[in-house]
Amino acid sequence: QVQLVQSGAEAKKPGASVKVSCKASGYMFTSYGISWVRQVPGQGLEWMGWISAYNGDTNQKQKFQDRVTMTTETTTSTAYMELRSLRSDDTAVYYCARVGADNSDVFDIWGQGTMVTVSS
């Protein structure tokens, strides 16, 4: 079945980096994009960025542009999101979501989420 499986929980110190993976299966990886969405505990969803699995084009929310790198590895159908210079307020659950084909805006499949805890 179509699914996205994310890497496990991470604990990091302030100033460090974290790289979360999102492995796709059950569909043609390069026909869709992947968005990254985060959720600070007790708060709402926040879109962070998007990458085309077809050609690697990316867009990020302005607040993350200096700290986020999104990549894909088509041989393994895996997307990655690296967040640098971590702060305590980056503690959140990070989700990947498949973005519909043909310029669709729908996030139709979601990963299970990866908890990232930033604490000294």
Partner 1 sequence: SYELIQPPSVSVSPGQTARITCSADVLPKQYAYWYQQKPGQAPVLVIYKDSERPSGIPERFSGSSSGTTVTLTISGVQAEDEADYYCQSADTSRTWVFGGGTKLTVL
Instruction: Using CB under 8 A, list all residues that contact partner 1.
Output: 33, 35, 37, 44-47, 50, 52, 57, 59, 61-62, 95, 97, 103, 105-108, 110-113
Closer CB to partner 1, residue 9 or residue 16? 9
- SS3 of the chain: helix, strand, coil, percent, to 5: 10, 50, 40
The C-alpha atoms of residue 75 and residue 59 are separated, in whole angstroms, by 22
| Residue 92 beta carbon to partner 1: minimum distance, rounded to whole angstroms | 13
CB 86, min distance to partner 1, A: 22
Q: Tell me how far, at minimum, the Cβ of 16 lies from partner 1, in Å.
A: 25
C-beta of 28 vs 106, nearer to partner 1? 106
Name the residue nearer to partner 1 (CB basis): 23 or 111: 111
3 state SS of 64: helix
- What are the start-end ranges of the H helices in the chain? none
Nearer to partner 1, 13 or 66 (CB): 66
Beta carbons within 10 angstroms of residue 90's beta carbon: 20
CA 50/CA 68 separation, integer angstroms: 11
